Structure 1
Amino acid sequence: MKEIRITNNEEGQRLDRFLKKYLNKANQSFIYKMLRKKNIKLNDLKAEPETILKKNDLVQLYLSDDTIDKFREKKTLKQTDIHFKVVYEDDNILIVNKPVGLSTQPDVTSSRNLIDEIKMYLDAKEQNISFTFKPAVCNRLDKNTSGLVIAAKNYDTLKQTNKAIRERRIRKFYVAKVHGIIKEDLELRDYLIKNDEKNMVKIVKETTANSKKVVTYAQPLKTENNFTWLEIEIETGRAHQIRAHLSSVGHPVAGDKKYGRKDSEKHQVLHAYKLILDGYENDLAYLNKMEIKSEINDRFTIGGGK
């Protein structure tokens, strides 16, 4: 018999869904049969599949070790180097500085990605221990955009951070070097259409059936030859939003091969440099009003260069 104590990473979900994650090679009919025959119990009692798990509940599997092993695939992480830098960390949250050239999530263009590196980092610290929850990133950056990414260490942090981002309670600021001279603040309000086949977006003035609203604010910091350094805040967080939006008004990001012009920069000069956290409740309320910064000087590539 194996007992599993429910933590804050597993609470709030249905028992059958938890079991499907834990016994990830078992089909639903097997799980339902084991519950019906009381080979799987909850707190020593027969439980229905739709029962919602609470913290400190005990799930009891009256199954042999061989049976559990048969229906439980243990995934091993691919060993990889750690390329990010830790900017802030506590028991609930990890905020890292992602380098240029590293994808946030796994994709077909690279074997390296930030989420696998974060899992490796936490495994090394023995902080990646959960039956069904694995650390997850809450905001994404383009592969060649550097800067701050939030990772949740537990389910409550993931849920609250995603909610705060959806409600636009977490403010996200960038620094960019763009073509042309900008002397006044910009407030750009348009619509974005994504072409998944080309992995590109287009900015349009009028809404259409498949468009999404985009709002971008930009404040000039300084000029440099025929370029302007901007501080940018996004109200909406769409794919390629900053790059496409600035390009649409004639100020593409320097080094942007997709939406920009030819110049001497090797990579797009766009860095997510500041987060102001808000929207957290209960045990996570201490995060509210916290300001996390990674200056443009902290921008780096996987190869180690600026």
Structure 2
Amino acid sequence: MPPDHADNPPRGGVRHLEVSPEEAGQKLLQFLTRRLGPDVPGSLLLRLIRSGQVRVDSARKKPFDRLLAGQTVRLPPIRVADPAPGTAPLPALTILAQGPGWIAVAKPAGLPSQPGTGHADAASTRLAAMFPDATFTPTPAHRLDRDTSGILLAGTSYQGLRSLQQAFAAHSLRKLYLARVHGTLAPGQTLTLHDTLAKSGPPGHQRTTTSANGKPALALARCLETDARTSLLELDLRTGRTHQLRVQLANRNLPIVGDRKYGQPDNAPRMMLHAWNITLPDGTAVRLEPDW
């Protein structure tokens, strides 16, 4: 969590937070949520803003008003519990590349992109721990499945984060994955994976399936090598549906090795799906070879 400015009183007193250039453009509620972290409920922040206890340059603002660099946000005293003592430090993520407003890190298999029920450790929390003094905490611009390894992009400023998110939405980023699958194809053989997919099932137990009422899902597959039982595929992901590649390959009798949800029983220690190459709209390419 970014620290308060040096001239602010101790924890629990009135604080004056200056909006840095990296934070400019955020909505007021968004700014405070990122600055204060998960210890302060969003419902409390909403009440403080709507009651006028939060001021921006001495004026009342609405929760979704956007902030400018250099503005000062006055925050009334807020009492939150101190962090539990003796908490072990989180392991750092490997930094692969960085540029204006963005950073690329290596997400290991087994680590969620975001924290959730039953798992506080995540790529986003490790990024926050790696950059405790950042005025804008590096924030993932997309997600990788917990069991998928590879390149994760994060914004190091609000504008950088928005630019990445817009590039993902516009499909102006090229994302290449590697997958080891059960089944054999001829080296050089290509497949067009085009389906309509939808999620079904109760929360926590949802599965992605083909559905006439689903959303379009498109990827291109190319076989790089094969052996007696498996093939190594390079996958050019054109859309970003939940579990898209896993479902599309399984539906074509090419389940990913180690995929416990959509695959077949095997002794693989992990799922062999890896985000290995991302090319940004400006042509910058980030690559990371898998460790399997």
Same fold (TM over 0.5): yes
Distance 1:144 1:3, change over 3 A: closer
The yes-or-no answer on 1:238 pairing with 2:241 is: yes
Q: 1:113 matched to which residue of 2?
A: 122
Q: Deviations over 1:49-86 (max 9, x none)?
A: 4764322223456xxxxxx33x3648859644315322
Q: For 2:92 and 2:32, how far apart are their aligned partners in 1? A: 35
Q: For 2:238 and 2:251, how far apart are their aligned partners in 1? A: 17
Q: 1:294 matched to which residue of 2?
A: 288
Q: Is the 8 A contact 1:22 1:72 kept in 2?
A: no
AA partner of residue 121 (structure 2)? R
Q: Is the 8 A contact 2:55 2:61 kept in 1?
A: no
Q: For 1:17 and 1:118, how far apart are their aligned partners in 2? A: 18
What pairs with 1:38-117 in structure 2 (closer than 5 Å)?
40=55, 42=57, 46=59, 49=62, 52-59=66-73, 68-69=76-77, 71=78, 73=80, 79-82=88-91, 84-90=93-99, 92-117=101-126
Q: For 1:213 and 1:107, how far apart are their aligned partners in 2? A: 27
TM-score relative to the length of structure 2: 0.79
Distance 1:73 1:155, change over 3 A: farther
Q: Is the 8 A contact 2:22 2:159 kept in 1?
A: yes
Rg bigger for which structure? 1
Q: Deviations over 1:159-183 (max 9, x none)?
A: 1100000000111101111111112
- Could you list the structure 1 runs, at least 4 aligned residues long, displaced by more than 6 angstroms after superposition: 19-23
Q: For 2:183 and 2:255, how far apart are their aligned partners in 1? A: 8
**Partner secondary structure for residue 144 of structure 1:** coil
User: How far 1:215 moved relative to its partner?
Assistant: 0.4
Structure 1 residue runs without a partner (length 5+) = 62-67, 279-287, 300-305
User: How far 1:260 moved relative to its partner?
Assistant: 1.3
Q: For 1:16 and 1:152, how far apart are their aligned partners in 2? A: 18
Q: For 2:215 and 2:99, how far apart are their aligned partners in 1? A: 35
Q: For 1:74 and 1:152, how far apart are their aligned partners in 2? A: 29
TM-score relative to the length of structure 1: 0.76
User: How far 1:32 moved relative to its partner?
Assistant: 4.7
AA partner of residue 288 (structure 2)? S
Distance 1:253 1:109, change over 3 A: farther
User: How far 1:143 moved relative to its partner?
Assistant: 1.3
Structure 2 residue runs without a partner (length 5+) = 1-13
Q: For 2:30 and 2:278, how far apart are their aligned partners in 1? A: 34
AA partner of residue 202 (structure 1)? T
Q: Is the 8 A contact 2:24 2:159 kept in 1?
A: no
Q: Deviations over 1:98-138 (max 9, x none)?
A: 11111111123434211111111112xx33x35xxx43211
Q: For 1:257 and 1:139, how far apart are their aligned partners in 2? A: 23
**Partner secondary structure for residue 156 of structure 1:** helix
Distance 1:295 1:2, change over 3 A: closer
